[in-house]
Amino acid sequence: MFKDITDFIKQQFPNQDFIPLHEPRFIGNEKKYLNDCIDSTYVSYVGEYVTKFEQQIIDYTGAKYAKATVNGTTALHIALIAVGVDVDDEVITQSLTFVATANAIAYQKAHPVFVDVDRDTMGMSPSSLRDFLSAHVELKNNIPYNKTTNRKIAACVPMHTFGHPCKIDEIVTICNKYNIPVIEDAAESLGSFYKDQHTGTYGKIGILSFNGNKTITCGGGGMVITDDKNLSDKITHLTTTAKIPHKWEYEHDEIGYNYRLTNVSAALGCAQMESLSDFIKNKRELAAIYHDFFQQKNIEFINEPLNSQSNYWLNTILFKDGTERDEFLDFSNSNGVMARPIWKLMNTLNMFKACQTTDLTNSIYLSERLVNIPSSIRIK
Ligand SMILES: *Cc1c(COP(=O)(O)O)cnc(C)c1O
């Protein structure tokens, strides 16, 4: 049975000895644009590709503003700063996520609070969030405080897991009642839409990642998207060392960051954006092929949730228990097919052990059983 699965995956990626989880593909103007950077000497963060890349993201996602950053983690960090997350605040997120989400919160010396996910989306559960807020949070002068810890709740960061949109409209509605700004960690979901609207555009701010393993890549890169001009201006300022624009004077009016994406990375991003629609089509075809195969095998394949169109960044299957999962991981990884369990839950990591959590039944269930399987764009 495990052999059937790995043989089938190998058929999808012929002529490869080892099949990784997600490889980048450069089949367009990448080399041409990189050469332009070198020929023009604009290799650092001033240059036409940065602006062009931001415009492509605006056009594709429908956000009003986009600001490129050196990676997705810094995009998250700057987004948290922009909405005012500060020392000793609390930020609600999900326990089932990549560590960058929780790390960015910790960079501000704020405390993550981990709520549960839904079984179908693998993203933040609106009911778990609602339960937490109604049990623990009260508004004082319209500012939300955790009654147990007396700390301010400064933001909520839901994540669209493996590209599948979470129920983001419900999450935003709940958070609005408590005046909690939502920052969407859409690092994995470029090309994923919820109710025909791009993920990352429901909250006050959304962030994207262009790391080497994501749907498109700049080598390393990130983006902050928002409809709010003030936030966008603040992010531009903070990511460029908070320098007051002037032809020759160097004056900075607060502690800023060197988080701007370089023109070289943006050049790659521009070429990759030109391939994005084809990439998504290709990935959705692979997901349909996997779906049919695993249905025959009686293994649960995670489909896009209701009301959404997913980029199927990483295809995911669910084993009946942790033992079966581990046997599969052992077999596939020793037979040239990379497969990987999902992340350890954030609240089990040493640095986040003491953080407040809700009941995490779904997170625990999923983290013991889910496996990501190879999901690269297939070259025909
Ligand atoms: C990839 C990722 C990030 C961080 O992106 P980098 O570009 O690698 O810094 C953040 N959150 C999630 C959920 C991710 O998958």
Of 91, 98, 343, best ligand 1 pocket probe by most atoms within 8 Å of the beta carbon: 98
Of 207, 211, 342, best ligand 1 pocket probe by most atoms within 8 Å of the beta carbon: 211
Task: Specify the ligand 1 atom closest to the Cα of 75.
Answer: 9
Supply the pLDDT for residue 293.
Answer: 98
Q: Does the residue 300 lie in any domain?
A: no
Contact criterion met (CB below 8 Å) for 347 and 357: yes
Q: Does the residue 170 lie in any domain?
A: yes
- What is the crossing angle of helices 361-369 and 322-334, to 10°? 30
Q: Does the residue 311 lie in any domain?
A: no
Q: Does the residue 55 lie in any domain?
A: yes
Kindly report the protein residue whose alpha carbon is nearest to atom 5 of ligand 1. Answer: 72
Q: Does the residue 285 lie in any domain?
A: no
Of 93, 185, 216, best ligand 1 pocket probe by most atoms within 8 Å of the beta carbon: 185
**98 alpha carbon – ligand 1 mean position (Å):** 7
Q: Does the residue 53 lie in any domain?
A: yes
Contact criterion met (CB below 8 Å) for 48 and 267: no
CATH number for the domain spanning 173: value is 3.40.640.10
Residues in the ligand 1 pocket, defined by CB under 6 Å: 71-73, 97-98, 100-101, 159, 185, 187-188, 209, 211, 222
Domain holding 94, by residue range, is 30-272
Task: Specify the ligand 1 atom closest to the Cα of 209.
Answer: 7
**209 alpha carbon – ligand 1 mean position (Å):** 6
Q: Does the residue 18 lie in any domain?
A: no
Supply the pLDDT for residue 172.
Answer: 98
**222 alpha carbon – ligand 1 mean position (Å):** 8
Supply the pLDDT for residue 142.
Answer: 96
Contact criterion met (CB below 8 Å) for 113 and 356: yes
Supply the pLDDT for residue 211.
Answer: 98
**23 alpha carbon – ligand 1 mean position (Å):** 16
Nearest Cα neighbor of 205 from 240, 170, 180, 237 is 180
Residues 218, 199: Cα–Cα separation, whole Å: 20
**Total number of domains constituting the chain:** 1
Contact criterion met (CB below 8 Å) for 70 and 207: no
Alpha helices, DSSP H, located in 168-259:
168-177, 229-239
Q: What is the mean pLDDT of each run of 10 residues along the chain (380 residues)?
A: 96 94 97 97 92 98 98 98 98 98 98 98 98 97 97 98 98 98 98 98 98 97 98 97 93 96 98 98 98 96 98 98 97 97 98 98 98 94
Q: Does the residue 3 lie in any domain?
A: no
**140 alpha carbon – ligand 1 mean position (Å):** 34
**249 alpha carbon – ligand 1 mean position (Å):** 35
Give the chain's length. 380
Supply the pLDDT for residue 121.
Answer: 98
What are φ and ψ of residue 161, in 5° steps?
Answer: -70, 125
Kindly report the protein residue whose alpha carbon is nearest to atom 7 of ligand 1. Answer: 72
Supply the pLDDT for residue 380.
Answer: 74
Q: What angle do CA 224, 23, 342 make, to 5 degrees?
A: 75
Nearest Cα neighbor of 215 from 31, 375, 69, 28 is 375
**71 alpha carbon – ligand 1 mean position (Å):** 8
